[in-house]
A and B are shown apart, each in its own frame.
Chain A
Amino acid sequence: MSAPLTGVRVVELGAYTTGPLCARYLSNLGAEIIKVEPLKGESMRTFAYKIGDVSYIFHVHNVNKRSVPIDTNTKDGKAVLFELLKTADVMIENFAYGSMLKWGLDYETVRGVNPGLIYCSLSGFGHTGPDRHLRAFDTVIQGMAGVMAMTGTADGPPTKIGISAADNMGSAAGAMAITAALHHKRRTGRGQHINISMHDIMGWLSSERWALLDTEAGPQRTGNRHAAIAPQNIFQSEDGLVAVAVETQKQLDALCTLLGHEPVDLTESKAHEAVLEARLVEWVSSRTTDESIAVLLAHSVPAGQVQGIDDVAENPFTWERDILVTLQHPESGPVKLLGSPFKSSRSPGVVDTPAPTVGQHTKQVLSEILGYSDARIDELTEKQVIAVSPS
């Protein structure tokens, strides 16, 4: 068993979610991550809901990483960073468009240091186009990409996806682009610049319904219903909410049999939606959630509970799949965190060490990788070019 990106070195210059989560995904696939953060630590450490004195979200995004704080605004700091980048395969940054150029860390400059480097930029609107200067909040991007207009009911307002969809999918797209670029690098020795736009990705997410633009009614907000197939909806049981959603003709046939309805062609199922839903409303309302789901599944009709955060967190299946894991933190003890979403016969996904303290690995990384002496490290620490964890 070996994780597939073992031996790949990533330098992360990220803050908040998109960059750090992208690097975290690569670490789950086995890559080595060096997190270069400001001397005082990355901003997300200070967010609400803390474990010890560091935010829970920081713990989630920064497992498996080594922390090396560098003041990259200093000449000496930039020199240390460039020495690290010379040894790296990948660099990730998620600052506002233009920031890296201002700081002298843009792709053209860094390529001069290491032409084989894969340099991945993650930003709200990408590095090209008239809106590239706009600052991005997840909610603004969901609004500007058609995602909110598709979410919610027709008679209610456009609604955002509760989780930070743009941040998250930007991270996943970055991880996929970087792994593709690793092949190009292996074949040719060449690095490249990747510029991922969260707006592109949210727009792409909406593409399932572009087809409806050419219909008379146009795309509508359809609540929990599917735009073309029925029945798909959420139903109230005696003690909770049950999602029922057919996708294939066989599943629809099975549901019709169960409800005592004559067979319906899947391609015409929307025309029968009202009747089928009315029967399901009645059928589910007289049963418990567990009973409804058990009977529907026994008939091979897809059904599931609407799980709250507590249900997800307590469901043994979530732990069985190692999507939630417990890591031992040296100061805070056992910490429940999200695991790796990558499951393969060659690797169950790496979730190895808890998020680092600020400067926990400065000495280790600079001596092992760059051959710095203790005296050199002390000197740079004294000059506040780098920071070393006190513990």
Chain B
Amino acid sequence: MLKVEPPEGDRLRRQPPNAGDGTSPAFQTLNANKESVAIAADSPVLQALIGEADILLTDQTTLVDHGIDLPDDTVAARWPDLIACHFSPFGRRGALAGRPGGELIAQAMGGIVATTGHPGETPHRAGPPLASHNAALLGGAAILAALHDRAASGMGAIIDQSLYDSSVSLLYTFLPAYFLTGETPGPMGNQHMMVAPWDNYPTKDGWMIICVANDRQCHDFLRLMGHEGLVEAPLCALNDARVTPEGRAFLNEIITAFLADKTTDEAIALLRKHNVPAGPIYDLLALMENAQFQARDMIQTFDGARTPGSIFKMSETPGRINFAAPRLNQHDNWEPAP
């Protein structure tokens, strides 16, 4: 993986915090396993490098920022066996093609913001870069499929991977209501549209999640909380009543009172013992300390900087993190083949 950077380096190298040496932690988490060469946009070396490659990855924001023009037809004509994947906010064709944007704009236009957050408030973006990461995975699949095809056909491909497409593709739990009833579903907080109680709840020392999926689990939960008498109560007995605003409010009050004198750990142990689905809400520090995440080798450390491990656990070809993110132009000894 050869990372071609402008002479001043990828802009992420200077993103705070701790960007003093031009290799910010934010840069390092995304660039392990890569070699770096710094090249000016108009250098013929750039063209030579592309000629040597199997796969070319570009993104619109970076190309625009550096005035690099690589139209699809030029790429296809000059390098017919190249697999070129271009990432952009709105794609290479269509009325919005070429519009500037990034993660927040893609989430806003793509319906992610309108479906995240709590009713009555300004909706929220997904905190992590959902549109970008999903586009990256879909682009990865498209590239590898094209490589599979090339082995037989000898032909390259120009792949047009947009963040908008990647976001809208995620909306299948919200689209049915609109298409079938004309209603426009909005954010539900942490609740589930179709079952209750299902939410985050405060404990003595933090938050936890409880996801009650059916009547039996709810009745077990009511008994655990010492409310045997409510099992047959009109607002508790059946999910149809529990999902009404009155049902949700009634149960949430009982649950909140029950959890008030328990730590998250105590409550989760108790609920799991009684087969009530529940889980903690980990902040990033807790995630770093999570035994499961560690056992899966999901945290690698190079020079004190954390890099995510590979999500590809494969028996024959396991994903690997071989080396840390490069310094700018660390691999400038690259030479085009004679």
Contact = CB atoms under 8 A, between A and B. Distances in A.
Query: Do most interface residues of chain B lie in helix, strand or loop, or is the interface mixed?
Result: mixed
A342 B138 contact: yes
Contacts of B291: 129-131
A227 B55 CA distance: 32
Given A146-B286, A336-B179, A196 B137 contact: no
Give the size category of A's interface with B: 35 or more
B282 A307 contact: no
Contacts of B208: 143
A195 B313 contact: yes
A146 B213 CA distance: 23
A139 B198 contact: yes
B114 A307 contact: yes
Contacts of B43: none
Contacts of A215: 17-18
Given A57-B176, A128-B295, A184-B316, A140 B149 contact: no
B159 interface: yes
A162 B141 contact: no
Contacts of B184: 308-310
A228 B16 contact: yes
Interface residues of B, number: 140
A309 B160 contact: no
Contacts of B298: 200, 203-204
Nearest to A233: B104
A201 interface: yes
A244 B311 CA distance: 32
Contact of B29 (A143, A211, A241): A211
Interface string A324-346: 10000000000010100111111
A77 interface: no
B141 A150 contact: no
A158 B206 CA distance: 10
B175 to A, nearest CB: 6
A89 B190 CA distance: 40
Interface stretch (A248-256, A352-360, A365-373, A382-390): A248-256
B259 to A, nearest CB: 14
Interface in B68-124: 72, 76, 89-91, 93-96, 99-105, 107-118, 121-124
A262 interface: no
A211 B305 CA distance: 8
A341 B102 contact: no
B284 A210 contact: yes
Contact of A300 (B100, B124, B284): B100
User: What are the nearest 6 A-B pairs in CB distance?
Assistant: A150-B127, A211-B25, A162-B115, A179-B144, A243-B108, A4-B149
Interface of A: 2, 4-6, 8, 25, 29-30, 48-51, 55-57, 60-61, 107, 125-132, 135, 137, 139-140, 143-153, 156-165, 168-169, 172-173, 175-184, 186, 190-197, 199-201, 203-215, 218-219, 221-224, 226, 228-229, 232, 234, 236, 241, 243, 245, 247-251, 266-267, 270, 297, 300-313, 316-318, 320-321, 323-324, 336, 338, 341-346
